[in-house]
Amino acid sequence: MSTLEIRDLHVEVETESGPKEILRGVDLTVNSNETHAIMGPNGSGKSTLAYSIAGHPKYTVTQGQVLLDGEDVLAMAVDERARAGLFLAMQYPVEVPGVSMSNFLRSAATATRGEAPKVRHWVKEVKGAMSDLDIDPAFAERSVNEGFSGGEKKRHEVLQMSLLKPKIAVLDETDSGLDVDALRVVSKGVNDYKQSSDVGVLLITHYTRILRYIAPDRVHVFVNGRVAASGGPELADELEENGYERFLGASSATKEEQPA
């Protein structure tokens, strides 16, 4: 049983005109075996939240806490966070030329598991996971994400999740840019891992589409750098119908209440 707690998280980025606050007090708790959807308009800070949890150096936490089972995540280096059981499926996976997918996966599995997986078992495991995600085995010898289509990158993010077996997985727009077939495959990959583990999932998305495949327990509306409303799956239906309009107003009202 694991818990990711985000408390009053404030994050800024460096811009040409000085630091700019993007996250303005995020509160959120995700437990094992729960799936939380975060929905919000473009630019509301969803990726900033995801990257801040993972420890991207571009983002500076100015206030608040992130705890994994009570441990201070913000004090950990990026690799320590991953080894502690956090995983981020990135919206824009990075190309690493010259590093083969198989070498990368093995290095990552060795690091997160604390020992090198036994070769024979590992090869089988990777093959199986790739085939579950409809990934051509030839990808194992290609450079990490290099020249992959958008859909292929997303499949490989889910592949990594299923091999690295995190306690908490943050999926940042893993659905965007996928056609219906790819969306099904990717969703099945996530659901399979949910079923075979106790993972807690933070599913960041722009559209309700993926929620038809991956059922959320909780839905959070993310506007202007914070959670503007939370509810059950029915909240997603409301968003589908009415959009974010109602929450945009609410958020600018709370903005004025904030101390400068």
Partner 1 sequence: MTRASEATGQGPDQPVAQVGGGIIDATDSPVLDVDPGINATSPKLAPWELRFTSYDVEAFEVPRGREEQWRFTPLRRLRGLHDGSATATGRIGVSVVSGFGDAASSDLGGVRHETVGRDDPRLGDGGIPADRVAAQAWSAAPEAHVVTVDEARSEDEPLTVTVTGPGEGQSVYAHVQLRLERHAEAVVVLDHRGSGTVAANTEFVVADGAKLTVVEVHDWADDAVYVGAQHLSVGRDATIRHTSVTLGGDLVRLSPVVNYRAPGGDVELDGLYFADGGQHFEQRLLVDHSVPNCRSRVTYKGALQGAEGGTAAHTVWVGDVLIRKAAEGTDTYELNRNLLLTDNARADSVPNLEIETGEIVGAGHASATGRFDDEQLFYLMARGIPEAQARRLVVRGFFGEVIQKVRVPALRDRLEAAIEAELEAVGV
Residue from 45, 55, 85, 200 in contact with ligand ADP (CB under 6 A): 45
CB of 34 to ligand ADP, least distance (A): 21
β-partners of residue 200 are 168
Residue 52 within binding range of Mg ion, rule CB under 5 A? no
Which whole-number Å values give the CA distances from 62 to 8, 11, 21, 52, 74, in the listed order?
Answer: 10, 6, 9, 11, 11
Work out whether 22 is an interface residue with ligand ADP (CB under 6 A). yes
Q: Per-residue contact track with partner 1, 156 to 195, x per CB under 8 A?
A: ----x---x-------------------------------
Question: Both ends of the chain: CA-CA distance in Å?
Answer: 39
Quick one: which segment of 16-24, 38-46, 81-89, 239-247 binds partner 1 (CB under 8 A)?
81-89
Q: Binding pattern to partner 1, positions 208-227, x when CB under 8 A?
A: --------------------
- Asked if residues 37 and 220 have their Cβ atoms less than 8 Å apart, the reply is yes
Residue 112 interaction partner, one of ligand ADP, partner 1, Mg ion, none, beta carbon < 5-8 Å per kind: partner 1
Q: Is 259 in the site for partner 1 (CB under 8 A)?
A: no
Phi first, then psi: give them for residue 13, nearest 5 degrees: -120, 155
CA-based nearest residue to 194, from 31, 1, 34, 4: 34
Handedness of CA 240, 245, 250, 251 (dihedral sign): positive
- Is 14 a residue that touches partner 1 (CB under 8 A)? no
Q: Can you name the residues that pair with 227 across neighbouring β-strands?
A: 222
Q: Identify the H or E element spanning 155.
A: helix 150-164
d(CA 171, CA 201): 7
| Amino acid, res. 141 | E
Using CB under 5 A as the binding rule, whether residue 47 contacts Mg ion is answered as: yes
Q: Which of residues 79-138 bind ligand ADP (CB under 6 A)?
A: none
Q: Kindly state whether residue 55 participates in binding partner 1, applying the rule CB under 8 A.
A: yes
Q: Which residues of this protein are in contact with ligand ADP, per CB under 6 A? A: 13, 15, 20, 22, 40, 42-48
Residues of this chain that interact with partner 1 (CB under 8 A) are: 54-57, 77-79, 81-83, 88, 90, 93-99, 103-104, 107-108, 111-112, 143-144, 160, 164
